[in-house]
Amino acid sequence: MSLQQATLSQGRESATRQQLLKNIDLELLGERIRQARTDQKISQRDLCKGLFTSAYLSYVELGKTRPTLANLEKLAERLHKPVDYFLRPSSLLQNAKNQNGLEREQIRNLELQNQLTQGQVALFGNDFSQVETILSGVRPFLTRLPRTDQVGFYLLEGGFYNALNEPASALTALDTAQTLVDGVNVAETQNSLRALLELEKGTALARQGQPLKALEHFHNGLANTRNLGKNSEKNNIYRRLLGEISRSYLAIGDQERALEFAQQLLDLPEETLNEKATSLFKEGLRLAGLGDYQQSSFYLGRSVQIWQERKEAIALQELSLENAQVYLQTKKYPEALKAARLAYRLLTAYPEDKFAKPAELKALLLLVQIGLGTDDTGAVKTYIEQAGEIFEELEEKEPLEEARYCQVAGNAYSLLGNLGTAGNHYQRALTILEPVVARSSDLADRTLLADVYYNYSQLLKRQDSSVKALEYLDKAFRLRSR
């Protein structure tokens, strides 16, 4: 191709793009730019730095101004996209009246609904900057959405502020949702939204240190779930409510009611969770990029369900550990065993999660303690060996957590007759705990040190070290009487 031909070709391409830019729907163009920017987690300020003001970019993304082709080319370069990506025609918009009777406004609404779904996924993944970006992007168009989606927006905002531990802001958003939810006509949808609303309100009140008021909302939410049909959404909300009710009863010291609701939660069938959510989510985004918002909504919606199940598994695992500890303290060993085993199964389902390792160690140590309480030497041997392997794998070891491990390991090896190993673990625990308790008045630390002194004294007695045994027994008595 000659230089003259190349110049003519470039001129034709530029003219074509100018025509596409002139005819493109501005809101569609703005949404494509905003989506490309948020996918790459680039702020408006960073994207337009050195080019033009962030206010100008904001107007472009909102569909309120048409960028020049030169400015669009600069944005495309920074977003690592070809210009034609932003100017491509949308098959759904071109054939809106021929495909399933969809009107242009419905398609725009589906795109906004997709954004809210992506916001839920981001919230489940603790990607708070992405949630904030999505909320800011959807807010200007909120009034054009159906009332159900408007409620969903404020529920997402309430959940976002709850996750940030800003309960006052959460309650402001949830109060707005409350005023809107009464206008939702479909009974089952209304009950689902009310259950979620009560859950988030209760969570905000619990964060404010008002467990009694929180309980009232959680119980109201539970009542709303009874009016829902059998579906995965009901199951997810129901699980979360049971967990929060159990936590709230623990917060007010009502152990019996806490255990009652924890047992209901533990009796529910376990969910099968996997990494399919990620591929579904990516496929949903790909289809949204092609303008196929109906299929995209299906994929994104399913990914949300799986992400939510994953998050509920984490919450269930945490609650199971808490309640296994309570059952152990009250010597309800069968219940403690069931709760600890469930927590361990949920934790080992995600071996790639590095944050699960400390919790996995905690679950194994609980299983060791249950075995000690029931004189099950086989279980004690199995679980303490597994716990030792996990302990060695931990890159960072908190001193007090190490002391707790050493105390339980000392008790385990003492039962198994390996007195030398048991003594080494007790000595390590004392090395950690004695200086901590010397400068701290924390009751839990004192109690742990007293337990180590007592258990070590019993071991020394078996080894005929009577003088040292009496010394540690006296220290244990003094700590417990303080």
- Find the CATH number of the domain harbouring 178: 1.25.40.10
For residue 448, pLDDT beyond 70: yes
Same domain, 25 and 69: yes
Structure tokens at 182: 């009464």
171 burial type by CB count under 10 A (0-12 exposed, 13-18 middle, 19+ buried): buried
Confidence grade of residue 329 (pLDDT, cut at 50, 70, 90):
confident
304 and 121 Cβ atoms separated by less than 8 Å: yes
Helix, strand and coil percent figures for the chain, each rounded to 5: 80, 0, 20
Structure tokens at 284: 């949903």
Note down the domain range covering 419.
373-482
Same domain, 286 and 407: no
Q: Is residue 423, in this structure, part of any structural domain at all?
A: yes
Whole-angstrom Cα distance, residue 77 to residue 83? 8
353 residue type, one letter? D
pLDDT in tens, 225-282: 876 655 545 567 787 888 889 888 878 878 778 878 877 876 766 544 445 555 555 6
Looking at per-residue pLDDT, the higher value among 95 and 302 belongs to: 302
Same domain, 30 and 166: no
Q: Is residue 406, in this structure, part of any structural domain at all?
A: yes
What is the pLDDT, as a whole number, of residue 270? 52
Same domain, 65 and 27: yes
Whole-angstrom Cα distance, residue 198 to residue 472? 52
Q: For residue 85, what are the contacts with CB-CB under 8 A and spacing of at least 6?
A: 32, 36, 76
CATH number of the domain encompassing residue 47: 1.10.260.40
Q: Is residue 217, in this structure, part of any structural domain at all?
A: yes
Lowest-pLDDT choice from 34-48, 182-196, 297-311: 297-311
Last residue of a domain, one of 314, 332, 353: 314
Q: For residue 176, what are the contacts with CB-CB under 8 A and spacing of at least 6?
A: 154
Same domain, 51 and 126: no
For residue 292, pLDDT beyond 80: no
The mean pLDDT value of the chain amounts to: 79
Total domain count for the chain? 3
The CB density around residue 467, as the number of other CB atoms within 10 Å, is 7
The angle at the Cα of 115, spanning 214 to 160, to the nearest 5 degrees, equals: 25
Per-residue pLDDT averaged across 349-357, rounded? 57
Same domain, 43 and 153: no
Half-sphere exposure of 19 (CA within 13 A, CB side): 6
For residue 188, pLDDT beyond 70: no
The sign of the dihedral angle between the CA atoms of 235, 236, 239, 240 is: negative
Whole-angstrom Cα distance, residue 379 to residue 7? 80
Whole-angstrom Cα distance, residue 97 to residue 108? 14
Last residue of a domain, one of 274, 292, 314: 314
Same domain, 308 and 432: no
Q: How far is CA 15 from CA 1, 5, 311, in A?
A: 20, 15, 51
Segment holding 135, helix H or strand E: helix 128-138
The CB density around residue 240, as the number of other CB atoms within 10 Å, is 25
What is the pLDDT, as a whole number, of residue 60? 86
SS (H, E, C) 66-80: CCCHHHHHHHHHHCC
What is the pLDDT, as a whole number, of residue 11? 53
Longest dimension (CA), the chain: 103
What is the pLDDT, as a whole number, of residue 364? 92
Q: Is residue 139, in this structure, part of any structural domain at all?
A: yes
321 burial type by CB count under 10 A (0-12 exposed, 13-18 middle, 19+ buried): buried
Q: Is residue 9, in this structure, part of any structural domain at all?
A: no
Q: Is residue 23, in this structure, part of any structural domain at all?
A: yes
Whole-angstrom Cα distance, residue 77 to residue 81? 6
Structure tokens at 482: 């303080």
For residue 284, pLDDT beyond 70: no
Last residue of a domain, one of 31, 51, 84: 84
Whole-angstrom Cα distance, residue 432 to residue 400? 7
Confidence grade of residue 171 (pLDDT, cut at 50, 70, 90):
very high
Give the position of tokens 């809107």.
180
Q: Is residue 252, in this structure, part of any structural domain at all?
A: yes
Lowest-pLDDT choice from 9-13, 53-57, 117-121, 374-378: 9-13
Q: Is residue 8, in this structure, part of any structural domain at all?
A: no
Same domain, 247 and 302: yes
Structure tokens at 327: 């059952």
The CB density around residue 404, as the number of other CB atoms within 10 Å, is 20
For residue 288, pLDDT beyond 70: no
Same domain, 162 and 220: yes
Closest CA to 425 of 437, 413, 433: 413
SS3 94: helix
Whole-angstrom Cα distance, residue 225 to residue 234? 6
pLDDT in tens, 355-375: 567 888 888 999 999 999 999
Whole-angstrom Cα distance, residue 163 to residue 129? 12
Same domain, 27 and 118: no
pLDDT in tens, 29-77: 888 888 888 888 888 888 888 888 877 888 888 888 888 888 889 999 9
Per-residue pLDDT averaged across 398-405, rounded? 89
What is the pLDDT, as a whole number, of residue 100? 44
pLDDT in tens, 380-396: 999 999 999 989 888 78
Whole-angstrom Cα distance, residue 208 to residue 233? 27
Same domain, 125 and 23: no
Whole-model pTM?
A: 0.56
207 and 165 Cβ atoms separated by less than 8 Å: yes
Q: How far is CA 272 from CA 89, 310, 349, 352, in A?
A: 40, 9, 9, 17
Same domain, 398 and 444: yes
Percent of the chain with pLDDT over 70: 76
Whole-angstrom Cα distance, residue 6 to residue 14? 12
